[in-house]
Structure 1
Amino acid sequence: MTQVLVAGIDTSTQSVKVRVTDANTGRMVRFGQAKHPHGTSVNPQFWWDAFLEAAQQAGGLDDVSALAVGGQQHGMVLLDARGRVVRDALLWNDTRSAPDAERLIEELGESEKTADESDLADDPMMRGRQRWVKAVGSSLVASLTITKIAWVAEHEPEHADRVAAVCLPHDWLSWRIAGHGPVEEGKTADFDDLFTDRSDASGTGYFDAVSNSYRMDLFKMAFKRDNVRLPRLVQSHDVAAMADPSIAGKDVEGGCIIAPGGGDNAMASLGLNMKIGDVSISLGTSGVAAAIAPDPVYDMSASVTGFADCTDHWLPLACTINGSRIIDAGRSMLNVDYQELSDLALKSRPGAEGITLIPYFDGERTPNRPEAKGTLHGMTMNNVKPENIARAFVESLLCTQRDCLELIEDLGVNVKRILLIGGGSKTPAVRELLPSILGSAVALPHPDEYVAIGAARQAAWVLDGSDQAPEWPVAIDETLSGEPNNDVFQQYASYRG
Structure 2
Amino acid sequence: MTLVAGIDAGTQSVKVVVYDPAARLVVASASAPLELISGDDGSREQHPSDWVAAVQACFGRFDAEVRGRIAALAVSGQQHGFVPLDADGQVLAPAKLWNDTSSAAECGQIMDAVGGAQRCIELAGNPILAGYTAPKLPWTRKHRPDVYARLATILLPHDYLNFVLTGRTFCEYGDASGTGWLDVRTRQWSKDLLRATDPQRDLSACLPPLAPPDALFDVAPAIAAQLGLPATAKVAVGGGDNMMAAIGTGCVAEGRLAMSLGTSGTLFAYSDTPVVDPQGAWAAFCSSTGGWLPLICTMNCTAATEQVARLFGFSTREGDAYIHATPPGADGLTLLPFLNGERTPDLPHGKGVLAGLDPHNMSPAHVYRAAMEGATYSLKYGYDAFVRAGLRFERIVLTGGGANSAAWRQMVADVFDLPVDVPRQAEGAAFGAALQALWSLRRAQGDATPLSQLVEHHIATDPALAAVPDPARATAYRAPYQRFLHHLDAVTPLYAG
With the length of structure 2 as denominator, give the TM-score of the two structures: 0.88
Match of 1:260 among 203, 224, 237: 237
Match of 1:41 in 2: 45
Q: Shift of the alpha carbon at 1:252?
A: 8.5
Query: CA 1:251 to 1:494, structure 2 compared with 1: closer, same or farther past 3 Å?
Result: closer
Match of 2:459 in 1: 473
Q: Distance in 1 between matches of 2:175 and 2:50?
A: 21
Q: How does 1:83-102 map to 2 (within 5 A)?
A: 83-102=89-108
Match of 2:154 in 1: 166
Match of 2:492 in 1: none
Contact 1:71-1:263 at 8 Å conserved across structures: yes
SS in 2 for 1:362: coil
2:324 aligned with 1:346: yes
2:59 aligned with 1:71: no
2:47 aligned with 1:50: no
Q: Distance in 2 between matches of 1:76 and 1:251?
A: 29
Q: Which amino acid aligns with 1:408?
A: F
2:105 aligned with 1:107: no
Q: Shift of the alpha carbon at 1:97?
A: 0.5
Match of 2:140 among 149, 152, 170: 152
SS in 1 for 2:117: helix
2:379 aligned with 1:401: yes
Q: Which amino acid aligns with 2:90?
A: R
Q: How does 1:332-411 map to 2 (within 5 A)?
A: 332-338=310-316, 340-411=318-389
Q: Distance in 2 between matches of 1:18 and 1:384?
A: 41
Match of 2:484 in 1: 492
SS in 2 for 1:343: helix
Q: Distance in 1 between matches of 2:411 and 2:54?
A: 36
Q: Which amino acid aligns with 2:180?
A: G
Structure 2 gaps, min length 5: 38-43, 490-497
Contact 2:132-2:180 at 8 Å conserved across structures: yes
Q: Distance in 2 between matches of 1:217 and 1:106?
A: 12
Contact 1:236-1:312 at 8 Å conserved across structures: yes
Q: Distance in 1 between matches of 2:485 and 2:413?
A: 18
Match of 1:454 in 2: 432
Match of 2:177 in 1: 202
Q: Shift of the alpha carbon at 1:25?
A: 4.5
Query: CA 1:42 to 1:377, structure 2 compared with 1: closer, same or farther past 3 Å?
Result: same
Q: Distance in 2 between matches of 1:323 and 1:151?
A: 26
Q: Distance in 1 between matches of 2:169 and 2:422?
A: 37
C-alpha distance after superposition, 1:24-57 (max 9, x if no partner):
4542222232223224211211111111121221
Query: CA 1:245 to 1:291, structure 2 compared with 1: closer, same or farther past 3 Å?
Result: same
Match of 1:272 in 2: 249
C-alpha distance after superposition, 1:187-226 (max 9, x if no partner):
xxxxxx2111111111111112322211233223213411
Name which of structure 1's ranges 396-405 and 432-441 shifts more when overlaid on structure 2: 432-441
Q: Shift of the alpha carbon at 1:135?
A: 1.9
Q: Shift of the alpha carbon at 1:382?
A: 4.2
Match of 1:14 in 2: 12
SS in 1 for 2:224: coil
Q: Which amino acid aligns with 1:129?
A: A
Contact 1:216-1:226 at 8 Å conserved across structures: no
Contact 1:62-1:248 at 8 Å conserved across structures: no
Contact 1:19-1:456 at 8 Å conserved across structures: yes
Contact 2:12-2:35 at 8 Å conserved across structures: yes
Q: Which amino acid aligns with 2:149?
A: D
Match of 2:212 in 1: 235
Q: Which amino acid aligns with 1:9?
A: I
Q: Shift of the alpha carbon at 1:234?
A: 1.2
Query: CA 1:301 to 1:209, structure 2 compared with 1: closer, same or farther past 3 Å?
Result: closer
Q: Distance in 2 between matches of 1:315 and 1:297?
A: 8
2:86 aligned with 1:80: yes
Name which of structure 1's ranges 288-297 and 245-254 shifts more when overlaid on structure 2: 245-254
Contact 2:221-2:231 at 8 Å conserved across structures: no
RMSD: 2.1
C-alpha distance after superposition, 1:359-386 (max 9, x if no partner):
1112111111111111111222344344
Q: Shift of the alpha carbon at 1:447?
A: 5.3
Q: Shift of the alpha carbon at 1:303?
A: 2.4
Match of 2:494 in 1: none
Q: Shift of the alpha carbon at 1:267?
A: 0.4
With the length of structure 1 as denominator, give the TM-score of the two structures: 0.88
Q: Shift of the alpha carbon at 1:251?
A: 9.1
Q: Shift of the alpha carbon at 1:404?
A: 1.9
Q: Shift of the alpha carbon at 1:131?
A: 1.8
SS in 2 for 1:146: coil
Contact 2:87-2:152 at 8 Å conserved across structures: yes
Query: CA 1:382 to 1:264, structure 2 compared with 1: closer, same or farther past 3 Å?
Result: closer
Q: Which amino acid aligns with 1:225?
A: R
SS in 2 for 1:316: strand
Q: Distance in 2 between matches of 1:488 and 1:405?
A: 17
Q: Distance in 1 between matches of 2:234 and 2:344?
A: 38
Q: Shift of the alpha carbon at 1:398?
A: 1.4
Structure 1 gaps, min length 5: 110-127, 181-192
Aligned length, in residue pairs: 463
Name which of structure 1's ranges 330-339 and 216-225 shifts more when overlaid on structure 2: 330-339
Q: Distance in 1 between matches of 2:229 and 2:179?
A: 35
SS in 2 for 1:296: coil
Match of 2:221 in 1: 245
Contact 1:293-1:413 at 8 Å conserved across structures: no
2:119 aligned with 1:131: yes
C-alpha distance after superposition, 1:375-411 (max 9, x if no partner):
1112223443444333322221211111121122223
2:291 aligned with 1:313: yes
